[in-house]
Amino acid sequence: MITVWREGIARGDMQTGDDREGICRPVTKQEPKAWYGVRTFYRWLTWEDRPYEERVVVFRARSLDDAIERAERESAEYAREGDFEVLDMVQAYRISDGDEEVGVGTEVFSQLHALDVPADEFLDRYDSGPAHTEIG
Q: Judge whether 59 and 70 are in contact, CB under 8 Å.
A: yes
Angle at 21 between CA 15 and CA 23, to 5 degrees: 155
DSSP 46: S
pLDDT confidence of residue 111: 83
Q: Judge whether 32 and 98 are in contact, CB under 8 Å.
A: yes
pLDDT confidence of residue 14: 27
pLDDT confidence of residue 30: 43
The SS3 call for residue 39 is strand
Residue 89 CB burial class (10 angstroms; 0-12, 13-18, ≥19): middle
The SS3 call for residue 13 is coil
pLDDT band at 127 (very low <50, low <70, confident <90, very high): confident
pTM: 0.67
Q: Is the pLDDT of residue 58 over 80?
A: yes
Q: In whole angstroms, give the CA distance from residue 51 to residue 85.
A: 11
